[in-house]
């Protein structure tokens, strides 16, 4: 009886967005009277950080500080339309729509500043701290707060922009089946180190080493958090979670969180995660989607590591102690 | 059964209210007192997101009939927040990206507050044990464990 160690890897190519009847998202950007810019979206932030990323993209495009951006995702009845946050599409679709809206708002902002400063809009630039200034001059400038007040109360101008990103529907070629189903492909690889107890059948994931190519990580720390949270979900799918462990029988199925197995804080694997960036031509500042793919590679990597450790090839999740022991019995019987 | 008059101290404020039989501490906090930091996740004491302190002990407030703690001192996440800024644990959670959707965060912080109150210099194992009754579905726990250890180091 022994604890057997093994290593396995798996790689994933994952599409960003989808291709049903076309895949659009809209964004509206407008300045308040105090120079804050509201990004209106119907896209939902489930905790993945979409609002943070949308604000970063808006700030970068407008040339204003991040603190000046208010992302409003309050109401799908009144907000500009979004297909939703799924298919790893949020950053890509919303980011592109926000860039388009923020570019139009920036043009309106510079036009208002040009009128207020009595210069040509093409000679103006933003300095990233909140000022719109004449290129090459330190004197001729106006702060966005003063500009927004002037635009509203004196110039009678709006500072606003509209944006949409549409991934058009792509029909397959009837002869070849060729089509354009997604906007980009992100890539990842996970190497899993496991230990298998050949007496109890228990698999322990010792470490997961993850590498992700996501175009550009607009917020690298949040991307890393998604990678490691997703890898944890991968471990959970691989080793623990089952609504119907003896499907199609309902026997021993969990009825609540107390009976639904998930790894807890004591079951963590050592995680190591790196991000590689090859900006995508059609992505917002080069970003592809990450989201769903983070739970994908860990599962086959763990299965391959179990095979490496003890020779048992598991093809049904979760990889329970029972399935490991039955596999070991079969190996012994056929030896 | 008649309703009860409940007198408890919540976050330093003396509260008096009427509760129907079987009202949980969580229900009283959220629905009667308007303190909504504690969340109702499972309602049966298995997820930990309703964790509050009763007389200094971390409890699942969804399992506590409020009439059984009459006279007690209760502390919720709202009570750990200073007038200015954030508590050391809140700041560590923020700095260390220890939240994603945020639903488990109030319970995690209250479980950690209870740990640090009796054990200001916990080991990693102590932290894991302290939050073992709290479920997180987003983070994989590691960033939460690290945040609690960082907060302990910052305050000790």
- Chain B residues touching residue A207 (CB < 8 angstroms): none
Binary contact (B139, A49; C-beta < 8 A): no
Binary contact (A228, B140; C-beta < 8 A): yes
Binary contact (B101, A229; C-beta < 8 A): no
> Which CATH class name applies to B81-155?
mainly alpha
Q: What is the pLDDT of residues A42-81, one digit of tens each?
A: 999 988 899 999 999 999 999 999 999 999 997 889 999 9
- Whether residue A311 is predicted with pLDDT greater than 90 in this model: the reply is yes
- For domain B4-77, give the CATH superfamily: Beta-grasp domain (3.10.20.30)
- The residue among B149, B8, B31 whose CA lies nearest residue B79 is B8
> Which CATH class name applies to A23-167?
alpha beta
pLDDT tens per residue, chain B (156 residues)?
Answer: 899 999 999 999 999 999 999 999 999 999 999 999 999 999 999 999 999 999 999 999 999 999 999 999 999 999 999 999 999 999 999 999 999 899 999 999 999 999 999 999 999 999 999 999 999 999 999 999 999 999 999 987
Of A47, A231, A266, the CB nearest to B140: A231
Binary contact (B139, A232; C-beta < 8 A): yes
Q: Which helix (H) or strand (E) holds A199?
A: none
Q: How high is the ipTM of this complex?
A: 0.88
Domain boundaries, chain B: 4-77, 81-155
Q: Is B63 on the interface with A (CB under 8 A)?
A: no
Q: Is B123 on the interface with A (CB under 8 A)?
A: no
The domain A3-16+184-334: what is its CATH number? Answer: 3.30.365.10
- Chain A residues touching residue B100 (CB < 8 angstroms): 47-49, 225-226, 229
Distances, alpha carbon B18 to alpha carbons A9, A38, A166, B72, in Å: 60, 43, 56, 15
**Which token pair is A4?**
């057997």
Given this model, what pLDDT does residue B156 score? 77
Given this model, what pLDDT does residue A277 score? 96
Q: How far apart are CA B45 and CA A190, in angstroms?
A: 35
What residues does CATH 3.30.365.10 cover in chain A?
3-16+184-334, 23-167
**Which token pair is A72?**
């409003």
């Amino acid at each position: 009886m022994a604890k057997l160690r093994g290593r396995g890897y798996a790689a994933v190519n994952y599409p960003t967005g989808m291709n049903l009847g076309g895949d659009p998202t809209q964004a509206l950007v407008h300045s308040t009277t105090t120079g804050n810019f509201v990004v209106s979206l119907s896209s939902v932030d489930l905790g993945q950080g979409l609002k943070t990323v949308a604000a970063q993209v808006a700030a970068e495009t407008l040339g204003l500080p991040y603190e000046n951006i208010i992302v409003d995702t309050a109401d799908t009845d009144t907000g500009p339309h979004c297909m939703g946050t799924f298919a790893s599409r949020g950053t890509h679709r919303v980011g592109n729509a926000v860039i388009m809206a923020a570019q139009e708002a920036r043009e309106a902002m510079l036009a208002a500043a040009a009128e207020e400063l009595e210069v040509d809009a093409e000679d103006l630039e933003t300095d990233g701290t909140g000022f719109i200034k004449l290129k090459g001059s330190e004197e001729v400038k106006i702060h966005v707060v003063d500009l927004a007040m002037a635009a509203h109360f004196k110039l009678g101008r709006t500072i606003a922009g509209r944006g949409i990103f549409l991934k058009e529907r792509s029909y397959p070629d009837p002869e070849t089946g060729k089509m354009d189903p997604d906007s980009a492909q992100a890539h990842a690889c996970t190497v899993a180190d496991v230990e298998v107890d050949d007496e109890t059948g228990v698999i322990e994931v010792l470490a997961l080493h993850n590498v992700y190519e996501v175009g550009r990580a607009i917020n690298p720390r949040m991307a890393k958090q998604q990678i490691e949270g997703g890898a944890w979900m991968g471990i959970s799918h691989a080793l623990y979670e089952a609504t119907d462990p003896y499907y199609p029988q309902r026997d021993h199925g969990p009825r609540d969180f107390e009976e639904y197995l998930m790894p807890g804080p004591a079951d963590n694997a050592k995680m190591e995660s790196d991000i590689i960036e090859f900006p995508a031509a059609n992505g917002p500042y080069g970003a592809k989607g990450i989201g769903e793919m983070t739970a994908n590679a860990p599962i086959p990597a763990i299965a391959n590591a179990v095979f490496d450790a003890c020779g048992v090839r598991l093809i049904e999740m979760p990889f329970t102690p029972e399935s490991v022991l039955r596999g070991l019995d079969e190996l012994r019987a056929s030896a | 059964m008649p309703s009860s008059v409940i007198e408890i101290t919540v976050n330093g404020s003396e509260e008096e209210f009427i509760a129907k039989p079987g009202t949980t501490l969580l229900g009283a906090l959220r629905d009667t007192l308007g303190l909504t930091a504690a969340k109702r996740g499972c309602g049966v004491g298995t997820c930990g997101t309703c964790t509050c302190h009763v007389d200094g002990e971390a409890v699942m407030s969804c399992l506590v009939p409020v009439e059984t703690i009459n006279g007690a001192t209760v502390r919720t996440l709202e009570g750990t927040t200073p007038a200015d800024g954030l508590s050391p644990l809140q700041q560590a959670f923020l700095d260390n990206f220890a939240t994603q959707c945020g639903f488990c965060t109030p319970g995690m912080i209250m479980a950690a507050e209870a740990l640090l109150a009796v054990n200001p210099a916990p080991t990693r194992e102590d932290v894991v044990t302290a939050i073992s009754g709290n479920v997180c579905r987003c983070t994989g726990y590691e960033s939460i464990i690290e945040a609690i250890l960082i907060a302990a180091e910052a305050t000790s």
